[in-house]
Amino acid sequence: MTDGIEGKVVVVTGAGSGIGAATARRLAAGGAKLVLAGRGAARLEQVAASIAADGGTVVWMAADVATRAGPAGLVDLAQERFGRLDVLVSNAGVAPIGPFDDLAVDDWDRMIDINLRGVLYGIAAALPVFRRQTSGHFVTVISTAGLRIVPGMGVYAATKNAVRTVMEGLRQESRGDFRVTGISPGFVRTDLAASMSDPGVMAGMQARMAEIGLDADAVARSIAFAIAEPDGVDIGDLVIRPTVQD
């Protein structure tokens, strides 16, 4: 595959909002062919329509990454519509954070299912395609939450650190067939707080995001940078924080 972004076929999960939507817009502007995914059709349709109105090439599909069929369907769609898959941006995630004392076991399950299993199901779907093509790129949105552990974020950080480990293991097995990039944002102004179950935690997080959060395009630029590098160059891990974040 040629270097750069132009012509690359990219699946973006969680593309209906926040970092995923910003990434889709930035990659479309660079000439990528996009497959957008999330659970809610309305927001995906809106993002896809605005990209198409700007001349971009885009399809979308409602898909739940926490099921094996979700990412598999996205990889199939990319190949059916565009003939190949160059990049899987595994960005979908939730953060129903809170102290362990809440015993919010359903929320723990949700984070494991979406943040960790969702990434693994993406790997299961895309890896055989990347091996066959002897090219491809896994770009996964992780978090600074795993780099600095703070109270209330234990399970969320655990899912993100599990993903960090998975990505490094995957990179070591690439044998040069594909690239692996982990993107770890700090505070970014997005809808992520909407996935939080505790109203107090949600309000605190929304206030912090409004106060210091980066624009989602700051993360999208780093994703675009990693994708645009030549095939032989693997950008391993990028951390993107607001300058004022501890």
Ligand X SMILES: NC(=O)c1ccc[n+]([C@@H]2O[C@H](COP(=O)([O-])OP(=O)(O)OC[C@H]3O[C@@H](n4cnc5c(N)ncnc54)[C@H](OP(=O)(O)O)[C@@H]3O)[C@@H](O)[C@H]2O)c1
State the catalytic residues.
156
CB of 106 to ligand X, least distance (A): 14
Contact 238, 181 (CB under 8 A): yes
Stretch binding ligand X (CB under 6 A), from 16-24, 96-104, 121-129, 165-173: 16-24
Residue 188 sits in the site that holds ligand X (CB under 6 A): yes
Stretch binding ligand X (CB under 6 A), from 1-9, 78-86, 119-127, 187-195: 187-195
* Interaction residues for ligand X, span 124-163 (CB under 6 A): 141, 143
Residue 114 sits in the site that holds ligand X (CB under 6 A): yes
140-164: b (≥16 Cβ within 10 Å) or e: bbbbbbbbeeeebbebbbbbbbbbb
Closer CB to ligand X, residue 5 or residue 193? 193
DSSP element (H, E) containing 38: strand 33-38
Residue 99 sits in the site that holds ligand X (CB under 6 A): no
For 107, other C-beta atoms within 10 Å of its C-beta total 21
How far apart CA 93 and CA 99 sit, in angstroms, is: 19
Tell me how many residues contact ligand X (CB under 6 A).
Answer: 30
Query: What are the structure tokens assigned to 41, written together?
Result: 């059709």
Q: Which of 5, 9, 16, 77 binds ligand X (CB under 6 A)?
A: 16
- For 22, what's the count of Cα atoms within 13 Å in the CB-facing half-sphere? 19
Q: Which of 8, 10, 11, 17 binds ligand X (CB under 6 A)?
A: 17
Q: Which of 9, 13, 123, 157 binds ligand X (CB under 6 A)?
A: 13
